[in-house]
Copies of this chain bind each other. A is one copy, B any other.
Amino acid sequence: MIITRNRIASLLRKRGYKITPQRRAVLNTIALSHDHLTPAAIYEKVHRENPGVGLVTVYRTLDLLTELGLICEVHAGGSCRSYLMRRPSEHHHHLICSECGTVADFAECDLNKLEQKLCRKTGFEINGHLLEFSGLCQNCRRRKPEDAT
């Protein structure tokens, strides 16, 4: 866990939010997973260990954590709204098979120059980006060998 608990705790406190076991649990679950998790998946994991946590709380906590910038929303393939710990050191992106949903990760992305250019051009302050490739994975390519046009 790269972002320390103390840091998180003080961030919450600073904004007037309380630190509750539920919030800890949600954050912990996301932090321990190196993958995206949908709200439902997070709920399931959290709930398994802390049966007292409801789905609603998961949603609310996700909103909160997103607002604080601790986690970020990811649009993985068909299912929108997955969440991921914000962990710049492990920045990565996805390649998603549109046929079977397989996801491959990759880390390379060289968008800084573009980012800077856009900042200058548009006046936006850019905090993040979402980059996703979609296509067919090896298996599905074989199975679906290019329609003749």
Interface residues of chain A, those whose CB is within 8 Å of chain B, are: 75, 80-81, 95, 97-98, 104, 106, 108-111, 114-115, 117-118, 121-138, 141
Query: Please, which residue of chain B has its CB at the minimum distance from the CB of A144?
Result: B125
Stoichiometry (number of copies): 2
> In the complex, given contacts A118-B133, A126-B133, A131-B132, what are 13 additional A-B residue pairs having Cβ atoms less than 8 angstroms apart?
A80-B80, A95-B118, A97-B124, A104-B124, A110-B114, A123-B137, A123-B141, A124-B136, A126-B134, A129-B134, A130-B132, A130-B134, A131-B131
A75-B130, A130-B131 given; A141·B115 CB < 8 A? no
Asked if A134 and B123 make an inter-chain contact with CB atoms under 8 angstroms apart, the answer reads: no
Contact status B131-A135, CB under 8 Å: no
On whether the beta carbons of A133 and B123 are closer than 8 Å, the reply is no
A95 and B124 in contact, given A80-B80, A115-B133, A134-B129 (Cβ under 8 angstroms): yes
Q: What CA separation (Å) do A98 and B141 show in the bound complex?
A: 37
CB < 8 Å: which of B95, B98, B121, B129 contacts A131?
Answer: B129
Quick one: closest B residue to A68, CB to CB? B147
Contacts of A110 in B (CB 8 A): 114
A122 CB contact (under 8 Å) in B95, B109, B115: B95
